[in-house]
Amino acid sequence: MARIVLVGAGSITFAKNLLSDILTFPELAESTIVLHDIDAERLATAEAMAAWMVAELGVGATIVAHADRRTALDGADYVINEIAVGGLAAVRTDFEIPARYGVRQTIGDTLGIGGIFRALRTIPVVASIGHDLAELAPHAVLFNYSNPMSMIPWAVYAGTPFRNVVGVCHAARDTQKTLARMVGVPEEQITFVTAGVNHQAFVLRFERAGENLYRRLDELIEADPELARRVRVEIYRNFGYFPTESSEHGSEYLPWFLAHPEEIEHYRIPVGIYLDWLADNLDEYGRQKRSLDEGKGVEIRPGQELASLAIHSIETGTPRVVHGNVRNGGLISNLPADACVEVPCHVDRSGVQPVRIGELPAQLAALNRTFLNVSELTVKAALEGTRDYVYQAALLDPNTSATLPVRRIRELVNELIAAHAALLPDGIRF
């Protein structure tokens, strides 16, 4: 049976959701599940949770926990990555220092100054995983959940011998469900094509039996002025295609919103909301740990996680379409070949097979290239240990550059480098 490794298994909610899927698929229920985390307490909690779930379901999965990453990865068939290097303390730094300079963020994990520094912390670790897999499990598939999604898979295939990496994210799937619900058409009746860059992909085709459902969406927006007070609706109205990321998150990839207090109020953008979410996640971890300690266990609720669906399709041949983040290589012809793009992927026994999209509409490719400029320079900074690329990524970032002049951006970068120095590549911190 499959050997499935969860890296960052101490993220208990993430691990619980994945295991709820994997262990309730009969074809996967006898798998070996390997848990790895650098936090000993969280790893022990994950192991206790997984063992409880196996016993509760009465399945034959084998649960193994390893604090040593190489031991965990050895012989893997599938690796699922969800690490957060530096944890809550690092994220607080990503918010608090830029806030003193007047740079506002909502989530801070994908682009922007927070996304740049999350990538600089994360890429060295995930690149090490790529090197380990090339040696210990060269035929494995690495499914990445860690943000920034446009940068992490890119760093693996550009900076290591390992190439079989796929980033997975719920944004495209959730947006398609949202649009179906908004126009009142069952999702299974709609033909969607969604592609671009992670968190800035667009619904290129939105049809039912030849009917362009964007016309229905236009009528809804026209009839409800409150809909126009959403960032993603504003982007749709100006660029012609609906974006896949939420309004609060999408606002920080663009220059027109967070730098302007009146726009924050108009579009109801929750600045700093991610810190509240992380506090909630910490509380949830505490509740689940107490429940396990008391022998009550956790809720087992299959949730169609993308990595677990893809693994099931590869193991069983069940055909599915999953949006994946992969090397472009011409899949989207008017974006850079080396960039990491998000496209529909057919998944079956042959593995993950990305769909060629062709050209994006020119205005969408232009937006994506602005996004990818920051991604490319950040990846190069992390892999090459070059501080100048960090400055340049920040200078080209839409939200940061809309807020600060050049001198202040360089000062902000220097302060963040000093704060995160222990977690950054050599060459950047010195």
Q: What is the percent of the chain with per-residue pLDDT over 70, rounded to a whole number?
A: 100
Once rounded to an integer, what is the mean pLDDT over residues 208-225? 95
Measured between alpha carbons, how far is 196 from 325 in angstroms, rounded to an integer? 9
Nearest to 409 by CA among 113, 130, 148: 113
pLDDT of residue 281: 85
Measured between alpha carbons, how far is 80 from 129 in angstroms, rounded to an integer? 11
**For 332-374, what is each residue's pLDDT tens digit?**
999 999 999 999 999 999 999 999 999 999 999 999 999 999 9
**For 360-418, what is each residue's pLDDT tens digit?**
999 999 999 999 999 999 999 999 999 999 999 999 999 999 999 999 999 999 999 99
Measured between alpha carbons, how far is 166 from 168 in angstroms, rounded to an integer? 6
Which sign, positive or negative, has the C-alpha torsion 134, 135, 137, 142? Answer: negative
Phi/psi at 298 (nearest 5 deg)? -135, 165
Measured between alpha carbons, how far is 58 from 66 in angstroms, rounded to an integer? 23
Angle at 247 between CA 99 and CA 331, to 5 degrees: 105
Query: Is 392 exposed, middle or buried, given 0-12, 13-18 or 19+ CB atoms closer than 10 A?
Result: buried
Is the pLDDT at 279 greater than 80, yes or no?
A: yes
pLDDT of residue 429: 85
Beta strands in 222-375 (DSSP E): 242-243, 320-327, 340-348, 351-354
The crossing angle, in degrees rounded to 10, of helices 112-136 and 362-384 is 60
Work out the mean pLDDT of the chain and round it to a whole number.
96
Tell me if residue 170 is catalytic.
yes
Q: How confident is the model at residue 233 (pLDDT cuts 50, 70, 90)?
A: very high
Q: How confident is the model at residue 66 (pLDDT cuts 50, 70, 90)?
A: very high
Cis check: omega of the bond before 261, within 30 degrees of 0: no
Nearest to 146 by CA among 77, 233, 68, 87: 87
CA 317, 6, 2, 21: dihedral to nearest 10 degrees? -50
Once rounded to an integer, what is the mean pLDDT over residues 307-312? 98
Nearest to 50 by CA among 78, 31, 69: 31
Q: Going by C-beta distance under 8 Å and a sequence separation of 6 or more, which residues neighbour residue 188?
A: none
Residue with tokens 């290239």: 369
Nearest to 344 by CA among 155, 165, 173: 173
User: Across-strand partners of 149?
Assistant: none
- Max CA distance (Å), the chain: 61
Is the pLDDT at 430 greater than 80, yes or no?
A: no
Nearest to 367 by CA among 158, 199, 249, 173: 199
Phi/psi at 403 (nearest 5 deg)? -105, -35
SS3 of 25-77: the string is: CCCCCCCEEEEECCCHHHHHHHHHHHHHHHHHHCCCCEEEEECCHHHHHCCCC
Is the pLDDT at 1 greater than 90, yes or no?
A: no
Measure Cα distances from 309 to 19, 54, 72, 305, 312 in Å. 12, 19, 22, 6, 5
Q: Which of 131, 170, 260, 266 is catalytic?
A: 170
Of residues 12 and 163, more confidence is placed in 163
Residue with tokens 């698929």: 25
Give all domains of the chain, ordered by start, each with its CATH number. 3-86+112-166+295-302 (3.40.50.720)
pLDDT of residue 5: 98
pTM, entire model: 0.96
pLDDT of residue 268: 96
Once rounded to an integer, what is the mean pLDDT over residues 256-266? 97
Query: Is 219 exposed, middle or buried, given 0-12, 13-18 or 19+ CB atoms closer than 10 A?
Result: exposed
**For 145-182, what is each residue's pLDDT tens digit?**
999 999 999 999 999 999 999 999 999 999 999 999 99
User: Across-strand partners of 194?
Assistant: 203
Is the pLDDT at 252 greater than 80, yes or no?
A: yes
Structure tokens, 268: 């109801």
CA 350, 351, 352, 358: dihedral to nearest 10 degrees? -20
Question: 74 and 136 in contact (C-beta within 8 Å)?
Answer: yes
